Amino acid sequence: MSANSTPAENPLRKLFEEIVYGCYSQTSELNDAEISNYVAGILTDFAETEQLYRIRDRRGRPLREVSDMLVASDPVYGDAYSFPREREVRKHIGDFSLFFAGMFPESAQWQRRNQQESLQALKRAGKESYYIVSQFNVFEFEQEAPLFARLADAFDACADGLMQVRKELDRRRLLPHPNSTPPPKLLM
Protein backbone atom coordinates (compact mmCIF):
# COMPACT_ATOMS: atom_id res chain seq x y z
CA MET A 1 0.00 0.00 0.00
CA SER A 2 1.47 3.35 -0.97
CA ALA A 3 0.94 6.68 0.71
CA ASN A 4 -1.76 7.46 -1.81
CA SER A 5 -3.59 4.17 -1.61
CA THR A 6 -6.54 5.40 0.45
CA PRO A 7 -9.49 6.45 -1.71
CA ALA A 8 -9.95 10.20 -2.06
CA GLU A 9 -13.49 9.97 -0.69
CA ASN A 10 -12.29 8.48 2.63
CA PRO A 11 -13.43 10.92 5.39
CA LEU A 12 -10.11 10.68 7.26
CA ARG A 13 -8.21 11.41 4.07
CA LYS A 14 -10.44 14.41 3.36
CA LEU A 15 -9.77 15.74 6.87
CA PHE A 16 -6.01 15.33 6.46
CA GLU A 17 -6.09 16.94 3.00
CA GLU A 18 -7.92 19.96 4.42
CA ILE A 19 -5.54 20.39 7.35
CA VAL A 20 -2.32 19.68 5.43
CA TYR A 21 -3.29 21.98 2.58
CA GLY A 22 -4.22 24.72 5.06
CA CYS A 23 -0.91 24.45 6.91
CA TYR A 24 1.26 23.91 3.86
CA SER A 25 -0.26 26.67 1.71
CA GLN A 26 0.95 29.27 4.22
CA THR A 27 4.53 28.93 2.92
CA SER A 28 5.51 29.39 -0.70
CA GLU A 29 7.87 26.40 -0.58
CA LEU A 30 4.99 24.08 0.30
CA ASN A 31 2.21 25.68 -1.72
CA ASP A 32 2.16 22.56 -3.91
CA ALA A 33 -1.12 20.63 -4.13
CA GLU A 34 0.66 17.43 -5.16
CA ILE A 35 2.92 17.50 -2.08
CA SER A 36 -0.05 18.34 0.18
CA ASN A 37 -2.07 15.43 -1.25
CA TYR A 38 0.86 13.06 -0.90
CA VAL A 39 1.48 14.03 2.74
CA ALA A 40 -2.24 13.69 3.51
CA GLY A 41 -1.98 10.19 2.05
CA ILE A 42 0.93 9.38 4.38
CA LEU A 43 -1.08 10.51 7.40
CA THR A 44 -4.12 8.51 6.31
CA ASP A 45 -2.16 5.34 5.63
CA PHE A 46 -0.10 5.62 8.81
CA ALA A 47 -3.27 5.92 10.88
CA GLU A 48 -3.12 2.12 10.56
CA THR A 49 -0.14 0.82 12.55
CA GLU A 50 0.41 -2.12 10.21
CA GLN A 51 1.09 0.39 7.40
CA LEU A 52 3.55 2.33 9.54
CA TYR A 53 5.55 -0.84 10.11
CA ARG A 54 4.82 -2.64 6.84
CA ILE A 55 8.46 -3.17 5.85
CA ARG A 56 9.55 -6.54 7.18
CA ASP A 57 12.78 -8.45 7.51
CA ARG A 58 13.43 -11.87 5.96
CA ARG A 59 11.73 -13.56 8.91
CA GLY A 60 8.58 -11.47 8.48
CA ARG A 61 9.17 -9.24 11.52
CA PRO A 62 8.27 -5.56 11.14
CA LEU A 63 11.22 -3.19 10.96
CA ARG A 64 10.82 -0.32 13.42
CA GLU A 65 14.22 1.36 13.07
CA VAL A 66 15.29 3.45 10.10
CA SER A 67 18.76 1.89 10.27
CA ASP A 68 17.23 -1.58 9.77
CA MET A 69 15.09 -0.27 6.91
CA LEU A 70 18.20 1.15 5.25
CA VAL A 71 19.78 -2.31 5.32
CA ALA A 72 16.58 -3.76 3.87
CA SER A 73 16.74 -1.24 1.02
CA ASP A 74 20.26 -2.16 -0.10
CA PRO A 75 20.15 -4.25 -3.31
CA VAL A 76 23.81 -5.30 -3.03
CA TYR A 77 24.53 -5.96 0.66
CA GLY A 78 21.03 -5.90 2.09
CA ASP A 79 17.65 -7.51 1.66
CA ALA A 80 16.34 -5.69 -1.43
CA TYR A 81 16.02 -8.47 -3.99
CA SER A 82 15.23 -6.09 -6.89
CA PHE A 83 15.39 -2.44 -7.83
CA PRO A 84 11.60 -2.06 -7.46
CA ARG A 85 11.94 -3.46 -3.93
CA GLU A 86 14.75 -0.97 -3.22
CA ARG A 87 12.47 1.83 -4.43
CA GLU A 88 9.55 0.57 -2.33
CA VAL A 89 11.63 0.42 0.84
CA ARG A 90 13.32 3.79 0.16
CA LYS A 91 9.91 5.38 -0.44
CA HIS A 92 8.72 3.98 2.87
CA ILE A 93 11.84 5.29 4.64
CA GLY A 94 11.11 8.75 3.25
CA ASP A 95 7.47 8.56 4.35
CA PHE A 96 8.33 7.09 7.77
CA SER A 97 11.06 9.68 8.40
CA LEU A 98 8.85 12.57 7.31
CA PHE A 99 5.99 11.33 9.49
CA PHE A 100 8.10 11.03 12.63
CA ALA A 101 10.22 14.15 11.99
CA GLY A 102 7.07 16.24 11.59
CA MET A 103 4.44 14.65 13.80
CA PHE A 104 6.59 13.21 16.60
CA PRO A 105 10.06 14.81 16.46
CA GLU A 106 10.56 13.99 20.13
CA SER A 107 10.57 10.28 19.23
CA ALA A 108 13.66 10.67 17.04
CA GLN A 109 15.88 9.98 20.05
CA TRP A 110 15.30 6.22 19.91
CA GLN A 111 17.93 4.02 21.53
CA ARG A 112 19.51 1.41 19.30
CA ARG A 113 22.64 -0.58 20.17
CA ASN A 114 23.82 2.17 22.52
CA GLN A 115 23.59 4.84 19.79
CA GLN A 116 21.18 7.76 19.48
CA GLU A 117 19.35 8.29 16.20
CA SER A 118 18.96 12.04 16.12
CA LEU A 119 16.30 14.07 14.43
CA GLN A 120 18.91 15.30 11.95
CA ALA A 121 19.92 11.72 11.09
CA LEU A 122 16.26 10.84 10.60
CA LYS A 123 15.79 13.82 8.28
CA ARG A 124 18.95 12.93 6.32
CA ALA A 125 17.69 9.38 5.82
CA GLY A 126 14.32 10.70 4.64
CA LYS A 127 15.81 13.26 2.22
CA GLU A 128 18.27 10.74 0.82
CA SER A 129 15.56 8.12 0.39
CA TYR A 130 13.22 10.48 -1.44
CA TYR A 131 16.13 11.56 -3.65
CA ILE A 132 16.90 7.91 -4.50
CA VAL A 133 13.23 7.29 -5.27
CA SER A 134 13.31 10.31 -7.60
CA GLN A 135 16.14 8.68 -9.53
CA PHE A 136 13.83 5.81 -10.47
CA ASN A 137 12.59 7.99 -13.30
CA VAL A 138 11.83 5.50 -16.06
CA PHE A 139 8.96 3.25 -17.05
CA GLU A 140 6.10 3.12 -14.54
CA PHE A 141 7.94 5.43 -12.12
CA GLU A 142 8.63 8.26 -14.57
CA GLN A 143 5.61 10.41 -13.72
CA GLU A 144 6.14 10.18 -9.94
CA ALA A 145 9.86 10.95 -9.99
CA PRO A 146 9.55 14.78 -9.99
CA LEU A 147 7.29 14.66 -6.91
CA PHE A 148 9.93 12.74 -4.96
CA ALA A 149 12.64 15.17 -6.10
CA ARG A 150 10.52 18.03 -4.71
CA LEU A 151 9.88 16.09 -1.49
CA ALA A 152 13.64 15.57 -1.06
CA ASP A 153 14.34 19.28 -1.66
CA ALA A 154 11.55 20.45 0.66
CA PHE A 155 11.91 17.74 3.31
CA ASP A 156 12.67 20.11 6.20
CA ALA A 157 9.83 22.44 5.24
CA CYS A 158 7.47 19.46 4.94
CA ALA A 159 8.47 18.27 8.42
CA ASP A 160 7.99 21.79 9.82
CA GLY A 161 4.59 21.92 8.09
CA LEU A 162 3.65 18.63 9.74
CA MET A 163 4.46 20.17 13.11
CA GLN A 164 1.80 22.78 12.27
CA VAL A 165 -0.57 19.98 11.24
CA ARG A 166 -0.03 18.34 14.63
CA LYS A 167 -0.80 21.61 16.40
CA GLU A 168 -3.97 22.00 14.35
CA LEU A 169 -5.04 18.44 15.14
CA ASP A 170 -4.40 19.10 18.84
CA ARG A 171 -6.37 22.36 18.64
CA ARG A 172 -9.32 20.67 16.99
CA ARG A 173 -9.41 17.97 19.64
CA LEU A 174 -10.02 20.65 22.28
CA LEU A 175 -13.03 22.08 20.50
CA PRO A 176 -16.41 20.61 21.41
CA HIS A 177 -18.13 18.53 18.77
CA PRO A 178 -20.67 20.74 16.92
CA ASN A 179 -23.54 18.33 17.75
CA SER A 180 -22.69 17.98 21.42
CA THR A 181 -24.43 19.87 24.19
CA PRO A 182 -22.61 23.00 25.29
CA PRO A 183 -20.51 22.70 28.44
CA PRO A 184 -22.20 23.91 31.63
CA LYS A 185 -21.67 27.54 32.58
CA LEU A 186 -19.58 28.17 35.65
CA LEU A 187 -21.20 30.24 38.35
CA MET A 188 -18.96 32.99 39.63
144 occurs within a structural domain: yes
pLDDT of residue 24: 96
Q: What is the pLDDT of residues 58-78, one digit of tens each?
A: 899 999 999 999 999 998 877
Residue 118 pLDDT level (bands cut at 50, 70, 90): confident
Tell whether pTM > 0.75.
yes
Structural domain for 90, as ranges: 11-174
Count: domains in the chain: 1
188 occurs within a structural domain: no
Q: How far apart are CA 75 and CA 63, in angstroms?
A: 17
98 occurs within a structural domain: yes
166 occurs within a structural domain: yes
